[in-house]
Structure 1
Amino acid sequence: MAKTIALLGTLDTKGREFDYIKQIIEKRGHKTIVIDAGIMGPPMIHPDIPREEVALKGGSTIEELISKKDRGFAISLMSKGASTIVQQLYKEGKIDGIISLGGSGGTALATAAMRMLPVGVPKVMVSTMASGDTRPYVGVKDITMMYSVVDISGVNRLSSHILANAAGAICGMVESKVSEADEASNGKEKPLIGATMFGVTTPCVEKVRSILEENGCEVLVFHATGTGGMAMESLIESGFINAVADITTTEWCDELVGGVLSAGPTRLEAAGKIGIPQVVSVGALDMVNFGPMDTVPEQFKARKLYKHNPTVTLMRTTVEENRKLGEIIAEKLNKAKGPVVLFIPLKGVSAIDKEGMPFYDPEADAMLFETLKKHLKPSIEVRELNCNINDTEFAEAIAYTLLQLIKK
């Protein structure tokens, strides 16, 4: 069955390249809707939705944007307009996927529109920016970014292969379908549980996941790397997730201290706002994350550092930082509209926070635990177990408690 793919981009500078992938897509039997977001000049090919319409949806006119001669302002407005149009096309069932190509400006514009689409809708971005930090473009959505290798400037013997691969990729994505049998086996009707994990909390989370799945739940595990926490919060807000085993709240260390894996200041808020059951723990609150050892900021060089691997350096959180973390987490949980149980592992919050390991610091942990208990509302149950977070007993307690909350 033919699908419809949106082609969004600047047709004044990339018209030839868009025409190339348009022809490939249509030869595969699919339809296209071409959206022009260019501002520098007239389009090289005829669009289905012209730049004038995109500008109006963004709150301006194309003439005003051209006269201002402010590229940044123009991209921002055209991005807003394109996002509105793409979202509307999808809501009306007029597109099944989207593809774009561009440099830094075109990538920022197109991926903003892609992020307006739900997870699962095919999204392909061919970009000169795809080999660097893609977090500003991808956010928490399933955007596939393909590095263009050369600048997107003409169709030549190299770029033609890359563009053809991208066209093939978006066609394959829209053609792909999860069968009804697969949906049933994946537990479409099962409670969907979000869980957070780090390498140093893996044994705990894997055990929790196993128990939950044995008891009829489906578990989505999010790697607590900043984007992982953000992705889980986003899916909770969208109504996908029914309950949370938020075992690894480490992203707050990076947000507080200045590490590289922050999930932002709203982490730990979505489940409370929606009111879904949540079991929360203090996984990996002993560490702040940085890149390779030589990238650790100068002010932290004298701190307790641990080389996790060649690209990741961990820094032990201090007593004072743990006091602040306790206050922050208590504040977030106190706002929850639904049931919350906090689990505290008295023998350490990670695999390297136990006796004989590099981050073992009973004083710092005690400050975290006491601060949490001091600031949490009496209505929030706190369970302290004489375990390390990765002990089987601790994981079992979390899993069975969450199952009870879900049943209630």
Structure 2
Amino acid sequence: MTRSLFGTDGVRGRTNTYPMTAEVALQLAAAAGRYFRRDQQEHRVVIGKDTRLSGYMLENALTAGFTSTGMNVFLLGPVPTPGVGFLTRSMRADVGVMISASHNPAEDNGIKFFGPDGHKLSDEAETEIERLMSEGVAPAHPQRIGRAKRIDDSGSRYVEYVKTTFPRHLRLDGLRIVVDCANGAAHRVGPAILWELGADVIPVGTTPNGLNINDKCGSTHPAVAAAKVRETRADIGLCLDGDADRLILIDQDGEIVDGDQIMGLIASRWKEQGRLQGDTLVTTVMSNLGLERFLYGIGITMERTKVGDRYVVERMREGQFNLGGEQSGHIVMTDFATTGDGLVAALQVLAAMVETGRTASDLACVFTPIPQVLHNVRFRTGSEPLAVDAVQQAIADGEKALGPSGRLLIRKSGTEPLIRVMGESEDQDKLHAVIDSIRQAVEHAS
């Protein structure tokens, strides 16, 4: 059986449209409950969410599904995705669930699962849950129905955990930090962590109303934080996404720094300190060629995976590597966490600033990127533009035109109805011509 419900990061879609409906959420939870509840002993699940209005609906549906199979449910409320991974392990839960569509707009939502080890589920586990869901799950005996309990201090537990990843002998005194929480899951914990470590905190995107998550703020719209950094003469800006598992930086001049530069900084420091396991960074096919060349020059191997932080983590676990991530800002440090954590990554950068006394711009520009162009082309549901001959021909022509000094990556998004058309080349005119040709072919095929 192949997966049809799960994408690259759980189940995701437009709220109240299949598959993101209350009915599907209930059935999915029942199937997941049966998958993880393998005996008659008591089992537990933790459920967190971001600040989307639809989170209430899906939280209740998931609770009903899990309790119907005898699972006890612990409701965390709004908490970052990495917080769910942490609390799944901390609370000895059999499964963790995050209700979030990450960087997507408020009308979307998603459901991500974590196993008892705090890691996202494998393709095989998701396929089995889909199989159970399609066959139908028998409910538990009335006397074995699960209970639900709300955990009021989940945010405080996560704050304390994140602070333990910052060197104990350091403080953030004297640093003025803009933190944009995207009106999402970190709107309270993000500023609290920085303030408790001594920073002068300037919060942005910390007034969620259920409909404004990622709305012209956060890691997908860093211009807002960049303007605030310049206005307040801050030392650095931190941009999180809706569930706070990714980070984009703003230096003191208001310049935007992506995940590739952040990974390059952390990898080079860990290499110098003897902390980088296997002298390897795991990233995806999206990362810039400039990063790969920089790492090679300092004796670090870069391994690429499919797009999706869980594929990065899978390769990290296979190779026993401790650093990986994505250009979009998912930074995974398995010394500290089981998944990307924007706030933990931010503290690594801030520790470097404190220890070296160097500015954000000086630290965060570790390599010169090869010019990269990315276009997202929306397509009709049900269409397969990448299978069209004209699109295939345009891609083949583009690869020939760029030659060995360039790179093309054309892929279907796993979270949205988009074809992502990306290319890299030092010849910018040729690069733009190639990308435009492919983009037009995809648009005509859509």
TM-score range, shorter chain: under 0.3
Q: With the length of structure 2 as denominator, give the TM-score of the two structures.
A: 0.25
Give the structure with the higher percent helix.
1
Q: With the length of structure 1 as denominator, give the TM-score of the two structures.
A: 0.27
Bigger relative contact order, structure 1 or 2, given CA contacts below 8 A and separation 6+?
Answer: 2
Query: Rg: which structure is higher?
Result: 1
